[in-house]
């Protein structure tokens, strides 16, 4: 095996593996160093994919328990086989990781399982990367190096994790029994999603969030509607509250809360979901002359090059939201720019999704952000309660909100909470990306009955043209 490559990628997550595949498709020789034994990074192995598998399974469990009878489907109350549910989740992960591995073979990408570290910067000639594997160290040489090591969960001082009673997302995705009482520290999308999984399966769930306003980057109306729905489902939410102390015994964990809510909680599981930080440890960034910003992220130019020549970084390591699809697009753009093409990532139009029930999704600025910018806008809303398809699905919570320029009708932002919001947002992203207007949506025929009609009605509603609103 040659140890010299056009591109060496450290990290086989969404950004890294996509960049590697695209670069190989464009004719580069590529090596990827990944510490896990499976590709896909946090997203595929202990994040996006397993959480969605459990969210879907737990939602089906709730439907069988609470909604089947309303459809005339009479069954005995369902019982939970948690082991089978977890097995299904693992099988999904295995299929997808094997799929990426097969793409690596197809594109002749060299995969090395181990830890990657930048070597001593050469005075001239190729860059060096040291891969530490079970068999020992090996040094690779490359014309360019891409750092794509992603992020790790943030630890909270005074709340030591043991992976059992107190753990992070990856632990909450693999509980061997349903917690009697799960306390989630952090009310972001990770905490709300995993809290929803165990709430549906029978846990008492309490969410503790230090910020007064949860999901601060989300439209206010969407956030309020989502939190009310989760509370109606049985989730207890304490905003403006922090955990002052934690004590563990063999049987339970005792938390003292301070702030807006002051009380003592006793639970059997604690999920720490207080955010994520760039995974830069062990890369030898200082030695390579790579600079970080005030948030500990790697600084890059418009071509994703770091302060060190021919060393690049993407994904959670750099500016922007820590989202898999953002990293993937950056990986493609980087590979194509290295090949002489000129694609770009529009950071103003990255969709965000919360996969709770109901789902929440958005693209573009919120009303609050438009007001802060001094940008004039009109609002169109359409409730799913008025959607024939949502009614037929018995899934009517939520609405679509469209924000548009009052003069040109150009759509500025779209915010959705309701059934399949994660899928509906793609049409909105497309329209906004092309500078589309209310008139463009009005001229686009939507099949009836569909959930997507709600987007059209909301868009028309911004100018008082909605037929059903």
Which residue numbers are catalytic? 448
For residue 28, the Cα-to-chain-centroid distance in whole angstroms is 29
- If we measure between CA atoms, which residue out of 143, 109, 142 comes closest to residue 30? 109
* Rg from Cα positions in the chain: 24
Q: Estimate to the nearest angstrom the gap between the alpha carbon of 182 and the chain centroid.
A: 22
* Residue 278 parent element (H or E): strand 276-278
Q: Hey, what long-range contacts does 157-160 have (CB within 8 A, 24 or more apart)?
A: 158/243, 158/245, 158/246, 159/185, 159/243, 159/246, 159/270, 159/272
How many C-beta atoms surround the C-beta of residue 289 within 10 A? Answer: 13
DSSP string computed for 392-427: HHT----EEEEEE-TTT-BEEEEEEEETTHHHHHHH
Percent helix, strand and coil across the chain, each rounded to 5? 35, 25, 40
User: CA 426, CA 402: separation in Å to the nearest integer?
Assistant: 14
Task: For residue 414, give both structure tokens.
Answer: 């779209």
Cis peptide bond prior to 168, omega within 30° of 0: no
Token pair belonging to 43: 């997203």
At residue 213's C-alpha, the angle toward residues 358 and 201, to 5°, is 35
Q: What span, in angstroms and rounded, lies between the C-alpha atoms of 104 and 46?
A: 21
Dihedral sign from CA coordinates of 323, 155, 199, 224 = negative
Tally of CB atoms within 10 A around 95: 10
Outline where 148-270 has alpha helix (H): 169-172, 189-200, 220-233
């Amino acid at each position: 095996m040659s140890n010299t490559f056009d591109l060496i990628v450290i990290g086989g997550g969404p950004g890294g593996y996509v960049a590697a595949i695209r670069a190989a498709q464009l004719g580069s020789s590529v090596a990827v160093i990944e510490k896990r034994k499976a590709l896909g990074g946090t997203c595929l192995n202990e994040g996006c994919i397993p959480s969605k598998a459990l969210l879907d399974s737990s939602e089906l469990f709730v439907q069988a328990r609470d909604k089947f009878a309303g459809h005339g489907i009479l069954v005995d109350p369902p019982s939970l086989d948690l082991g089978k549910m977890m097995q299904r989740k693992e099988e999904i992960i295995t299929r997808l990781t094997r799929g990426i591995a097969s793409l690596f073979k197809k594109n002749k990408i060299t995969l090395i399982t181990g830890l990657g570290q930048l070597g001593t910067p050469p005075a001239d000639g190729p860059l060096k990367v040291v891969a530490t594997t079970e068999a020992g160290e090996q040094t690779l040489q490359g014309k360019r190096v891409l750092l794509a090591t992603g992020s790790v969960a943030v630890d909270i001082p005074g709340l030591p994790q043991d992976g059992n009673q107190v753990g992070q997302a990856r632990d909450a995705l693999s509980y061997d029994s349903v917690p009697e009482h799960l306390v989630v520290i952090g009310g972001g999308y990770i905490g709300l999603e995993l809290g929803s999984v165990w709430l549906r399966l029978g846990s008492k769930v309490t969410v503790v969030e230090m910020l007064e306003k949860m999901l601060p980057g989300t439209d206010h109306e969407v956030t309020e509607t989502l939190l009310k729905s989760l509370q109606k489902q049985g989730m207890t939410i304490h905003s403006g509250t922090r955990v002052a102390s934690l004590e563990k015994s063999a049987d339970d964990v005792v938390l003292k809360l301070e702030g807006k809510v002051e009380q003592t909680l006793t639970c059997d599981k604690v999920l720490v979901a207080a955010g994520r930080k760039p995974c830069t440890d062990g890369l030898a960034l200082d030695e390579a002359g790579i600079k970080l910003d005030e948030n500990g992220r790697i600084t890059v130019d418009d071509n994703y090059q770091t302060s060190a020549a021919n060393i690049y970084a993407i994904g959670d390591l750099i500016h922007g939201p820590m989202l898999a699809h953002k990293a993937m697009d950056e990986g493609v753009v980087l590979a194509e720019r290295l090949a002489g093409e000129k694609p770009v990532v529009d950071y103003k139009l990255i969709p965000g999704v919360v996969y709770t029930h109901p789902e929440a999704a958005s693209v573009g600025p919120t009303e609050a952000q438009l007001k802060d910018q001094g940008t004039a806008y009109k609002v169109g809303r359409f409730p799913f309660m008025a959607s024939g398809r949502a009614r037929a699905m018995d899934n009517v919570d939520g609405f679509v909100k469209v924000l548009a320029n009052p003069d040109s009708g150009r759509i500025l932002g779209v915010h959705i909470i309701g059934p399949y919001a994660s899928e509906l947002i793609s049409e909105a992203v497309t329209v906004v990306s092309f500078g589309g207007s209310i008139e463009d949506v009005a001229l686009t025929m939507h099949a009836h009955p569909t959930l997507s009609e709600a987007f059209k009605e909301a868009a028309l509603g911004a100018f008082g043209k909605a037929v059903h609103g």
